[in-house]
Amino acid sequence: MKMHAIPGLALLLALTQAAPAQSPDRSTPPLPGPPPSLRLPPVQRVHLENGLPLMLMEKHTVPLVQLTLVVRTGSVRDPAGKEGLAAMTAALMTRGAGARDALALAEAVDYLGASLTAEAGRHTSSVSLFTPRAQLEEGLRLLADVILRPAFPDSELSRERALRLTTMVQWRSSPEVLADLALQQLLFGASHPYGRPVLGSAPGIAALSPADLREFHGRWYHSGNAAMIVVGDVTLEELQPRLEEVLAGWPSGPEIAGNVRPAEQVAGRRVILLDQPAAPQTQIRIGRIGAPRITDDYYALVVMNTVLGGSFSSRLNTNLREVHGYGYGAGSDFDCRLLPGPFVVWSAVESAVTDSALMEIFRELERIRQPLPEPEVAKARNYLALSYPAAFQTVTSIALQLDEMATYGLPEDYFNRYVDSILAVSADDAQRVAQRYIDPQSMVVVLVGDRSAIEHRVRALELGTFELLTIDQLLGPAPAVPAATSATDVR
Amino acid sequence: MLRLFLLLSLAMPALAQDPRLSVPYRLFTLPNGLTVILHEDHTTPSIGVNLWFRVGSARERAGRTGMAHLFEHLMFEGSAHVPEGMFDLLLEAAGGDNNASTSSDRTNYWIDIPSNALELALYLESDRMGSLLQTMTPQTVDGQRDVVKNERRQNYENAPYGMAWMVLAEHLYPEDHPYHWPTIGYMEDLSRASYEDVSAFFRTYYSPNNSSLCVAGDIDPRETERLVRLWFSDIPRGPAPAPVAVPPIPETGEQRLVMQDRVQLPRLYLLWHTPALFAPGDAELDLLAHILSEGEHSRLYRRLVYERQIAQDVAAFQYSQTLGSTFWIVATARPGVGLGTLEQAIEQELDELCAEGPTARETERARNQIDVSFLTRLERVGGIYGKADLLNAYYTWTGNPDYFQEDRARYGAVAPDDLRAVAMKYLGSTMRVVLSVVPEGSLQLASGSGTEVHPR
C-alpha cells in the first residue's frame, strides 16, 4: 500500500492491521458492462365519456398515486392589462371549491396526507393530486371539486393578490431573481408573454376581479382542452369508473389555436448592468432566443448543450469553477417551449473577476462552434442516454415525463426512442446546431452587481452597447400592497 | 448546484402494514472496519452508492471553521489512480450523477449509477478513500478554497437573509460548543486552511472504520459483496476518533438580537434548544411543527398569514441534530408591519397551544402528513434522502439500518396531551434566541430592543 509512505500513519497501521489485504489492479478503471434495458410498464390510453384523454402508467412498488390534469392554457393567454390572470385563476382553484371554503378544503386534503395543487405555466396549467393509495377515493372527490367547482370568492382573491404583490416586493432584494427577470424581459420585450413572469405584473394583478377568474376558468378548463395523467399504485379497472363518476358532466369545448408569435432574435450585443452597491458577487446571465421543443434539431441541441453547460464536467463549469475558481458554478440551458424559448448561460462570480469571467464565457461560446472532439460528444451522449432510466423512479417524475408527452404531442413510442435518438447525434450534428443557435455576436448580457467594482473593467471589454438599468425601470415602481381590508380574526 | 451544502433533518417515519414498505438489508463489516449495507430493489436498472463519514463541522476548531465542507470539495479533485477531473468525467460517461453534502454531524457522498457500472463507482469511491492524499497538492486546496468562498458569497453573503444562520449559531451555543460556528465556515478561516490542516483532517476522519457504505438498487447481493471486498479491503484502518466533547449550554435566558440586511421586508427568528435526533421529545416537536405551520389551517399560518395578513410566510420546524436540536419559528412581515406585531401574535398562539394542547384531529393530521413524507423516500434508491441514504442514516445514528418501524412508532404513540407537555417544556422556555432581521436603516421595525449584531 502506498499509504504506508505517509509518516505517522505507518506506525498506527502496524498496530491495527495484521496482514494487509491483497490489492486490486487499479491501473485502469473497470469498464461498464452492456447497458441495462429499462422495461417500462405500458402507457394505457383511454378517453373518458366526457372526451377527456386519460394516460395511465401503473407502478405498484410504493402505495402512492400522482394525478395531474394538464390544461392547455397559461400565461400566454393573459389579456393585456390583466397579466397574471392564468396564474391567479389556477391558484384560486384550491381556495374554496364545492361545499368547502379555502380552510376546510386545505384541512381535508392535509388530513389525508395528500397534496392538491394548481398552478399555471406559460402554455399549460396543471391541477395535481399526490396521495397515498389508501386515500385515493376521497382525494379524487376533492380533486374533482377543484377542477369543476372552484368558488373564486372575492375574499380569497384579495388575500392572494396581497401575497403576490408582496412577493414582487421581495424580488427586489434578490440579485438572482433580478438577473433572471431582466434577461427574459430584455430578450422578449415586456409585451411578449415570454418577456414577463408567469405570475404577471403588479398592475395586472391589481386589476383582476373574481368575474375575470370565472370567465377564464370557464373558457379554458374543459374536457376538450385537457388531459389526465395518472401514475402509481392503481389499475385502469379501478381508476376509470372512479374518474367517470367524479368528472361526470364536465363540459367539453373547442381547442383554441395558439395566439403568440415568436419574438424577434436579438440584434447585436447589449450589455446591461443593474447596480447592487457592495455586492460581493456579480450575477451573470447571457442569452438569446433559442429553439422550440418540436424541432428536428432537438436531440442535437440537448447533446451540444450538455457539452457546453448542461453537466458538471461541461466546458463552462470546468472553466469557470474548476480551472479559474471564479464562482461556485456555471452552466447553460435551452428552455425549449412551444415557441423558441430562451438560451441562457448563467453564473455568479466574485465581483473583481467579472470581466475575466465574461471573457471566458465568450471564449466558450466561440469554441462550441468549432469542430467538437468525438470523445467529448460521446461522453455527453452516454450521460444522457444511460441516466435516462433514473427519471422513472418516482410517480411524480414519471408524471412529468407524461406531461411533456401530452403537452408537445410526442409520439407514443417516445420513451422507447429517446435513447436511440440521443445516441444517433454525431459530433457534426452538435457543431451544426451550435453554429445555428449560438451566435456570440447576437447576445444580451445581464450583470447584477456592484457597479463601482465592475463597470470600468466591463466597459473596457467593448462587448457591445453598454446600458445601466434600475430596478424601477425593470419592474416598475415597488407595488403598493393593500393592507388587510378588515380584521378577520374569526377565532 | 452541485456539491451543495445542505441542512438536513433526518427524522422520518414509516408505515408498517404494507410489506412493500419494509427495507430488507444485509450488513457485513470488512476487517478494516468498513460497515457495508446492501439492499435490493429492481424497479429501475439504477443503483445508489452512498458513503457516510462520521465527521462534520462539529469536528472543527475555532480558527479552522469550514474545514469539513472544504474537505468534501477536495474529495472530487482526484486520487492516486484518478487524475483531477476524471471522477466526474468517468461517471458522466457511464450515465452517473454524483454529489455530496456536509452537515454539523456527518458528510455523505452519493453516486447514482446504471446497474452495469456499479464496479466503476466502487473503484472511484475506494480510490479516494484509500489514496486521496497521494495526489492532493496545495494547488488543489487553493482551487477549491476559491470555489467554496464563492459558494459562501452566493448562498449566504449575497442572498437575502443569508447571514442570519451564522448569527444564530453563534448565540445559541457557547464558544467552545461544536455547533457554535456555521458549516460553511468564516471567510478568514477558509483563507487560513492549509494543506497540512487538510491532510491531517483526512488522516483523522476519512478512514474505513469511521464510515459506512450502502449500495441499494438493482444489484446482485453476492456479486456486490465480492466487488466491495475486492475494492475496499486493502484500505488501512485509521485511528478511532475520540467522541466529540460537548460542553453544557449555559442558562443565558433570552437573547434578543437585531441585524440589518439588504432586504425589503423584516423577518423574525425565534429559536429554542430541544432534544437531540431520536431522543424523547424529538418526534413530538416534528408533530408540533406541522400543527403550527403546515398548511393554511395550521395555527400560525392561519392566524398570521390568512386571517390577520400581517405575515407573508411562516415556518416552524424541528432541526434535529445529534448533539442537541433547535426548534425554529421564522416569519416574514408584510410591508408596513413591524416584527413586534409578529412576535406578539406568535406568542399568543404558543400560549394557547401550551395551555390547551392540540386537538386529536390536528395530531392525526400531522401524523398522516409525516407518514406520506416517508413513503416518498422509499421511491428512489439513490441521491439525498433515497433509500441508500436512509439506511446509512439509520445505521449511523441508531446502529440499525432498518429503523423504519421504530421511527414510525415514535410518531404513532404520541397523544395530544403529550404534545401539550412537550410544547410547554420546550417552547414555553424563556431560554431562547430572538433575532430581528430588518432592512438597512429600519431598526425601528425590530421586535423590542436587542443587541445589534454584525455577521462575520
pLDDT digits (tens, 9 = 90+) for B24-61: 999 999 999 999 999 999 999 999 999 999 999 999 99
Question: What residues does each domain of chain A span?
Answer: 44-246, 269-474
Distance to chain B for A156, nearest Cα, Å: 9
Sheet holding A44-47, edge to edge: A44-47, A53-58, A226-232, A64-71, A125-132, A115-120
Identify the H or E element spanning B363. Answer: helix B360-377
Give pLDDT, residue B11: 32
Residue B17 binned pLDDT confidence (cut-offs 50, 70, 90): low
Cα gap B304→B337, rounded to integer Å: 11
Cα gap B153→B158, rounded to integer Å: 6
Taking CB atoms and an 8 Å limit, are A481 and B335 in contact across chains?
yes
A29 touches chain B (CB under 8 A): yes
Three-state DSSP at B102 gives: strand
pLDDT, tens digit, for every residue of A277-286?
999 999 999 9
Which chain B residues in 315-374 lie under 8 Å from chain A, judged by CB atoms? 332, 334-336, 361, 364-365, 368-369, 371-372
Residue A155 with chain B: CB contacts under 8 Å: none
Residue A318 with chain B: CB contacts under 8 Å: 85
Choice between A65 and B9, residue whose per-residue pLDDT is larger: A65
A12 touches chain B (CB under 8 A): yes
Taking CB atoms and an 8 Å limit, are A490 and B307 in contact across chains?
yes
pLDDT, tens digit, for every residue of B321-365?
999 999 999 999 999 999 999 999 999 999 999 999 999 999 999
Given a cut of 90, whether residue A21 has pLDDT beyond it is no
Taking CB atoms and an 8 Å limit, are B146 and A325 in contact across chains?
yes
Give pLDDT, residue B20: 74
Taking CB atoms and an 8 Å limit, are A32 and B364 in contact across chains?
no
From B155, which residue of chain A is nearest by alpha-carbon distance?
A: A328
Given a cut of 80, whether residue A18 has pLDDT beyond it is no
Minimal Cβ distance to B379: which of A26, A110, A393: A393
Cα gap B265→B39, rounded to integer Å: 48
Q: Is A31 exposed, middle or buried (0-12, 13-18, 19+ CB in 10 A)?
A: exposed
Count other Cβ atoms within 10 Å, centred on residue A483.
13
Residue B144 with chain A: CB contacts under 8 Å: 325
Q: Please tell me what DSSP assigns to residue B82.
A: B
Taking CB atoms and an 8 Å limit, are A169 and B265 in contact across chains?
yes
Taking CB atoms and an 8 Å limit, are B85 and A483 in contact across chains?
no
As for the ipTM of the complex, it is 0.93
Q: Please tell me what DSSP assigns to residue B56.
A: -
Minimal Cβ distance to B95: which of A60, A167, A386: A386
Taking CB atoms and an 8 Å limit, are A31 and B43 in contact across chains?
no
Give pLDDT, residue A11: 35
Minimal Cβ distance to B94: which of A1, A112, A382: A382
CATH topology for the A44-246 domain: Cytochrome Bc1 Complex; Chain A, domain 1 (3.30.830)
Taking CB atoms and an 8 Å limit, are B85 and A313 in contact across chains?
yes
Q: Please tell me what DSSP assigns to residue B79.
A: B
In contact, B324 and B249? CB cutoff 8 Å:
yes
Given a cut of 60, whether residue A153 has pLDDT beyond it is yes
Choose the CATH number for A269-474 among 3.50.50.60, 1.10.287.130, 3.30.830.10, 2.40.110.10.
3.30.830.10
In contact, A286 and A446? CB cutoff 8 Å:
yes
A41 touches chain B (CB under 8 A): no
Choice between A413 and A485, residue whose per-residue pLDDT is larger: A413
Among the listed residues B323, B310, B324, B312, the one whose alpha carbon sits nearest the alpha carbon of residue B271: B324
pLDDT, tens digit, for every residue of B185-216?
999 999 999 999 999 999 999 999 999 999 99
- Which positions ≥6 away from B249 have C-beta within 8 Å? B172, B173, B174, B177, B273, B324
The proportion of chain A whose per-residue pLDDT surpasses 70, expressed as a percent, equals: 94
Distance to chain B for A206, nearest Cα, Å: 16
Minimal Cβ distance to B119: which of A1, A30, A313: A30
pLDDT, tens digit, for every residue of A76-129?
999 999 999 999 999 999 999 999 999 999 999 999 999 999 999 999 999 999
A34 touches chain B (CB under 8 A): yes
Amino acid identity, residue A397?
S
In contact, B144 and B74? CB cutoff 8 Å:
yes
A134 touches chain B (CB under 8 A): no
Give pLDDT, residue A488: 41
Distance to chain A for B387, nearest Cα, Å: 12
Residue A388 with chain B: CB contacts under 8 Å: 95
pLDDT, tens digit, for every residue of A427-483?
999 999 999 999 999 999 999 999 999 999 999 999 999 999 999 999 999 999 887
Given a cut of 90, whether residue A490 has pLDDT beyond it is no
Given a cut of 70, whether residue A372 has pLDDT beyond it is yes
Cα gap B4→A329, rounded to integer Å: 11
Choice between B15 and A271, residue whose per-residue pLDDT is larger: A271
B406 touches chain A (CB under 8 A): no
A46 touches chain B (CB under 8 A): no
pLDDT, tens digit, for every residue of A160-208?
999 999 999 999 999 999 999 999 999 999 999 999 999 999 999 999 9
B90 touches chain A (CB under 8 A): yes
Q: Which of A312, A318, A324 to mutate to test the interface with B (most CBs of B within 10 A)?
A: A312
In contact, A320 and A361? CB cutoff 8 Å:
yes
Given a cut of 50, whether residue B140 has pLDDT beyond it is yes
A321 touches chain B (CB under 8 A): yes
DSSP B203-254: HHH-SGGGEEEEEEES--HHHHHHHHHHHHTTSPP---PPPPP-PPPP----
Which chain A residues in 51-80 lie under 8 Å from chain B, judged by CB atoms? 59-64
A348 touches chain B (CB under 8 A): yes
Cα gap B8→B111, rounded to integer Å: 18
Minimal Cβ distance to A328: which of B1, B120, B296: B1
Amino acid identity, residue A131?
T
pLDDT, tens digit, for every residue of A25-72?
999 999 999 999 888 999 999 999 999 999 999 999 999 999 999 999
Q: Looking at chain B, which residues constitute the CATH 3.30.830.10 domain(s)?
A: 19-232, 255-452
Please say whether the structural domain B255-452 has been given the CATH code 3.30.830.10: yes
pLDDT, tens digit, for every residue of B234-285?
999 999 999 999 999 999 899 999 999 999 999 999 999 999 999 999 999 9
Taking CB atoms and an 8 Å limit, are A281 and B150 in contact across chains?
yes
pLDDT, tens digit, for every residue of A207-226?
999 999 999 999 999 999 99
Sheet holding B432-439, edge to edge: B311-319, B325-333, B267-274, B432-439, B255-261, B451-452
Residue A22 binned pLDDT confidence (cut-offs 50, 70, 90): confident
Residue B150 with chain A: CB contacts under 8 Å: 281, 325-328, 348-350
Which chain A residues in 381-420 lie under 8 Å from chain B, judged by CB atoms? 382-383, 385-390, 392-395
Distance to chain A for B44, nearest Cα, Å: 6
CA distances from A202 to A160, A167, A169, A205, A475 (A): 12, 10, 10, 5, 9
CATH fold match for the domains A44-246 and A269-474: yes
A33 touches chain B (CB under 8 A): yes
Distance to chain A for B373, nearest Cα, Å: 9
Mean pLDDT, chain A, rounded, equals: 93
Minimal Cβ distance to A163: which of B96, B144, B312: B312
Distance to chain B for A50, nearest Cα, Å: 32
The CATH superfamily label for domain B19-232 reads: Metalloenzyme, LuxS/M16 peptidase-like (3.30.830.10)
Give me the long-range contacts of A135-138 (CB less than 8 A, separation at least 24): A136/A65, A136/A234, A136/A242, A137/A242, A138/A108, A138/A112
Q: Which of B17, B116, B150 to mutate to test the interface with A (most CBs of A within 10 A)?
A: B150
